[in-house]
């Protein structure tokens, strides 16, 4: 690749040619020589920049899905972001994993071979502690999993890898499955040490603890679909109309979402002095009449009206009408 010279460098070159310190014939001879580029055969770059960008897009979507799942599972705020997407040899990846660690060997049917989902101890033990009812404490000293912890971690890990289906749906339909869990990196030889792999690192923040979830995919696993790992293919498939299956899956997720429901008994206005003088047993008169229906708020919007009552020994409300929606439709009785 030609290099653009600055004006100072051009002036210095012209001065050298004028003074005779640089021979024009020598410059021509140097230009004719074959350019040599250094290439390391022990570490060939098999993934192009475009393919790495596509993988980054795939796992940015995956990180959002995983954030939603873990936040609901652990009942706390979880933040997951793509930290890096890089290619390296499998030996370099294995050497970077601490011992012991939580290493899930995952099959990627119909793709050949296996991949690795490695969860750092700080993240895995915090997840286990929350699932077991704790506050999310991490042990001071990293240890191997007990049999009960291994079983629970395998169940959670399978849910985590199931999210690969949606992330990869525009590229290939996957049926990922955890084959086994290992704690010693030396016992997880899914490919040759010199084989190139792509490593996707997800920064995971739970409470004040930060850890990394690593996803290691060998080149031989992605080779059958390597031509599809392009930004052009990614955006062309992402822009297609959603399938009925994906729409149905989205509808099921929305139906399981929690929404706040409030009943407005009525309104009134009191002075600060009256508020300060309130005592137990005092009665506050509201503007709502006893025969008037009450408003039912979904979130911050009034959607229904109803009548209060009792259901057994509990307070209840009978829906009497559906309020007019944003499209101006009539009320449904």
Check the CA dihedral 300-302-308-310 and report its sign. Answer: negative
Residue pLDDT, tens place only, 12-33: 767 776 766 666 666 666 655 5
Domains of the chain: 49-255 (3.40.1550.10), 261-322 (2.30.330.10)
The crossing angle, in degrees rounded to 10, of helices 121-131 and 147-162 is 100
The alpha-helical segments, DSSP class H, found in 172-269 are: 219-222, 231-238, 244-255
For 185-228, the pLDDT digits (tens) are 888 888 888 888 999 999 988 877 788 899 999 989 888 888 88
The whole-angstrom separation of Cα 239 and Cα 50 is 19
CB-CB contact of 295 with 266 (8 Å)? no
φ, ψ (nearest 5 deg) of residue 316 = -145, 175
Q: Is the model's pLDDT at 49 over the cut of 80? A: yes
92-142 residue pLDDT tens: 888 888 888 888 999 988 898 899 999 888 888 888 888 888 877 777 777
pLDDT tens track for 263-311: 888 888 889 998 899 899 898 888 888 888 888 888 788 889 998 888 8
pLDDT at res. 1: 40
Mean pLDDT, residues 139-154 taken together: 83
Q: Which residue has the higher pLDDT, 144 or 321?
A: 321
Q: How confident is the model at residue 331 (pLDDT cuts 50, 70, 90)?
A: very low
How many alpha carbons lie under 13 Å from residue 122 in its C-beta half-sphere? 12
Mean pLDDT computed over 34-50: 65
Lowest mean pLDDT among 32-36, 67-71, 156-160, 312-316: 32-36
At 214 the three-state DSSP class reads strand
Indicate the average pLDDT of the chain.
81
Give the model's pLDDT for residue 32.
Answer: 55
Instruction: Please name which of 115, 228, 225 lies closest in space to residue 178, comparing C-alpha atoms.
Output: 115
């Amino acid at each position: 690749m030609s290099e653009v010279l600055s004006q100072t460098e051009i002036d210095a070159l012209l001065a050298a040619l004028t003074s005779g310190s640089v021979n024009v014939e020598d410059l021509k001879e140097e230009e004719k020589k074959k350019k040599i580029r250094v290439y390391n055969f022990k570490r060939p770059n098999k993934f192009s920049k475009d393919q790495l960008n596509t993988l980054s897009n795939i796992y940015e979507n995956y990180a959002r899905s995983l954030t939603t799942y873990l936040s609901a599972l652990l009942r706390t705020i979880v933040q997951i972001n793509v930290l890096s997407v890089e290619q390296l040899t499998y030996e370099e990846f294995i050497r970077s994993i601490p011992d012991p660690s939580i290493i899930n060997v995952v099959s990627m049917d119909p793709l050949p071979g296996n991949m690795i989902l490695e969860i750092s101890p700080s993240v895995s033990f915090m997840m286990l502690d929350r699932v077991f009812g704790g506050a999310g404490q991490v042990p001071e000293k990293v240890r191997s999993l007990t049999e009960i912890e291994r079983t629970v971690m395998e169940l959670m890990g399978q849910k985590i890898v199931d999210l690969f289906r949606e992330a990869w749906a525009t590229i290939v339909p996957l049926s990922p499955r955890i084959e086994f869990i290992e704690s010693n990196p030396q016992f997880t030889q899914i490919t040759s040490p010199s084989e190139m792999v792509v490593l996707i690192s997800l920064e995971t923040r739970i409470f004040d603890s930060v850890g990394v979830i690593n996803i290691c995919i060998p080149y031989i696993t992605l080779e059958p679909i390597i031509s599809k790992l392009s930004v052009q293919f990614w955006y062309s498939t992402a822009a297609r109309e959603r399938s009925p299956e994906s729409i149905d899956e989205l509808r099921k997720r929305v139906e399981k979402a929690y929404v706040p429901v409030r009943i407005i008994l009525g309104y009134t206005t009191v002075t600060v002095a009256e508020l300060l003088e309130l005592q137990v047993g005092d009665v506050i008169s509201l503007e709502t009449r006893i025969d008037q229906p009450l408003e039912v708020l979904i979130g911050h919007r009034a959607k229904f009206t109803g009548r209060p009552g009792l259901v057994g020994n509990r307070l209840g409300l009978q829906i009497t009408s559906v309020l007019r929606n944003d499209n101006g439709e009539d009320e449904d009785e």
